[in-house]
Every structure is written in C-alpha cells, then in structure tokens.
Structure 1
Amino acid sequence: MEKTIKSIATNFGIYLGAILAAITVIAYATNLEILTEWWLGIGLFVMIIVFGIISISKSKHALGGYISFKEAFTAYFVTVLIGIVISSLVSIIIFNFIDPEAAITLKELVIEKSIEMMRGFNAPEESIAEALSQMEEAPSQYAIGNVIQSLLIQLVIYSVIGLIISLIMKKTNEDL
C-alpha cells in the first residue's frame, strides 16, 4: 500500500513540477514582468496546495476510502516536494546558466514594483530610499543559494498547511 501512495504522489509531483516549470518558461519567453505579479504568486500557491489535496484524495481512493494521517501527509509532502524541486531546478538553470541577464532584469522589475507599492501606501521617501538601497545591494533571488533557501522556506510553509489538510482528510477504518 505504501508503494501505491508514493507512486501516486510521485506522479502528481511530476505533473505539478512540469506545470510550474512550464509557467516559468512561458513567462521567461514572453514577458518577464509576469513573474513579478502578485496574482501569479497567489495562483501558484493555491495550485501547489490543490495538487497536494488531489494527491491525498487519489491515495485515499486507492486505499479503499481510508487513509491514515501519516499516509495522507506522505502523499501531500511527496507531491509538493517533487513539484517545487523541479520548479526550482528550472529557475536555477534559466536564470543562472541560460540567461543570467534575465535575473538582473527581474530584480530591477521587482525593485520598481516595490517602490511603486510603497508610494501607493504613502510611505515616507526616506523609507523608500532605504528600502531601495537594501534591495539593490541584495543578491539576486535566483542565485543558487537563495533558490535553495527559498525552497526550504516553502517546504516548511507547505508542510504546515499539509499537516492541517492531512488531519482534515484522514479517515480511519473503524472495523479494524
């Protein structure tokens, strides 16, 4: 049974990773500014959680309608882990090896959007200048170390969400 859960989760993780990677590649090829949009971040966040939920649901179905907390979390975690690792690898390859200039362009776009947002919130100009200085000095978000750090932070956040979802979706067989 454990093999069934892991194979289902692995398949959904690969699907998730392919979709996330495709979104990154399409945005890179068409318009880098898309990668700075807030709605894209929220959409990807929701998509990752939905794939985890679907993985739990399919695993539960494969196990005859019952799934333990551990099995549910395993299905969720494996799916999310594989998906975001594939996405992170694609980002590292594109923005560090294929086109490092695109990472610089993205950093500039993020700085512009951040300043625009701060002005929209009527932040004092000295605060904006200080934030601008810090953002310009910071390394690229696509530097390999930063991508790995982001991956680990995402894993923690998605794991907490996965624990809650697994608790909700678990169903034990009372007859056993």
Structure 2
Amino acid sequence: MENENATPSFINHAVKHALILGGISVVLTLAAYAIDYTLLASMSFGFLSLAIYLGYGIYAGINYRNEIGGYLSFGKAFQHGFVVFALSALISTIFTILLYTVIDPELPAKVTEVAVENAAKMMEGFGMPEEQMEEALAKTTEDTAKRYTVGGLAMGYGFSLIGCAIFALISGAIAKKKEPETF
C-alpha cells in the first residue's frame, strides 16, 4: 500500500522537474540563438549546458529524496534522474526541431558552416596535412548537415538517452541516501 502512494509522487516530481529542465534547455538555446547563433556550435557552450543539466538533475534528485523523508535508494534515485533527463531531452529535441525547421530553416546550414570551421581550426592546430584535412572536412560537412535534419535530430535523441542514463547514474549516486540500520 505504501508503494502506491510513493509512485504518483515519484512520477509527479520527476515530470515536474523534467519540465523545468526542459524549459531551462529551451531558454539556453534561445539565448544562444539570440546572442550569437555560432554559440550553438561552440564546445564551451555545450559543456556549460551539460554542467547546468547535470547540476539541475542532482538538485532534483536531492529535492525528491528530501521530499520523501530523507532517504532514497540508488535504484529509485537513478530512475528519477533518468525520467528527468530523458523527458527534458525530448522537450529540448522537439524545440530544436521547431527552431531548425519553423523558426529559422536556414539555421542548420549556418551552424554546419560554423561547426566545420571550428573543426578545420582544430585540425590545423593538430598539424593535420592539407590533403587529409580536406577529406575529413568534406566528411564532417556531410555528417554535420545530416545531424540537423528532423531525422538526424530524432536519431540524436535516441543516442542522447545513453547520456541521460550516464547522467542519471551520476545524479543517482549523489542523491541516494541509505536509511541507517537499526538493531
């Protein structure tokens, strides 16, 4: 009977925080787009976004633990984190599809161009020979352009579920707290 009461609380809490994290993702993407769309192809912006997502996921897990009495198993903490991350990633993917197909259909080509330029600078920094660099950049251009299609973004969501699981493992490990054993 106790489990029946915990389940809705679990789902409600996880969905609420997934919606908040999805909203944060949308706001971050919109801010980057409004400030300078090249940020969308920036590794530093990507790392900042990932740090914010993970940090919020940890906060949500600890908040859930505190809300249910201060103790949370790793399994439940992992499940909570996974729901938060996977649902927020879905929200982010849907928004990105809207951004790239409805709001600014030319954005994928512009972001691809920036990503290829960034890759070229990195290859030059590594001292890659010109011939190899041209071949690699042609492949990078093709792969990056595919990534920004609706199908590519949808497939990217599928792959992002692996990242969601990793983030859920991390946040679950931090949010878990065993009840003290009584003798």
Normalized against structure 2, the TM-score is what? Answer: 0.88
Change (3 A) 1:168 1:15: closer
Helix, strand or coil: the match of 2:146? coil
Percent identical among aligned pairs is 28
1:18 match: secondary structure = helix
Cα distance, 1:164–1:101 mapped onto 2, change above 3 Å: closer
Given that 1:9 and 1:78 are in contact with CA atoms closer than 8 Å, whether structure 2 keeps it comes out as yes
TM-superposition CA deviations, 1:116-168 (whole Å, max 9, x none):
11101111112210111112333332211211222122211230232244245
> Are 1:126 and 2:131 counterparts?
yes
What is the match of residue 53 of structure 1?
58
Give the AA of the match of 1:76.
G
How many residues align structurally?
Answer: 176
Residues 1:103 and 1:3: Cα distance change in structure 2 (over 3 Å):
same
Partner Cα distance (1:65, 1:49) in 2: 21
Distance 1:137 1:158 in 2: 26
Aligned to 2:18, the other structure's residue is in SS state: helix
Q: Distance in 1 between matches of 2:169 and 2:140?
A: 34
Map of 1:7-156 to 2, 5 A cutoff?
Answer: 7-138=12-143, 139-156=145-162
| In 2, Cα distance between equivalents of 1:29 and 1:170 | 38
Runs (5+) with no aligned partner, structure 1 = none
What per-residue deviation string (whole Å, max 9, x for no partner) do you get for residues 67-95 of structure 1? 12222112111111121111111110010
Q: Structure 1 residue runs of 4+, over 4 Å off?
A: none
**CA drift at 1:170:** 2.2
Q: CA RMSD in A?
A: 1.8
How far apart, in 2, do the equivalents of 1:167 and 1:30 lie? 36
- The 3-state SS of whatever aligns with 1:89 is helix
Give the direction of change, closer, same or farther, for the CA distance of 1:95–1:127 in structure 2 (3 Å limit).
same
Question: 2:119 and 2:113 mapped to 1: Cα distance?
Answer: 10
The 3-state SS of whatever aligns with 1:133 is helix
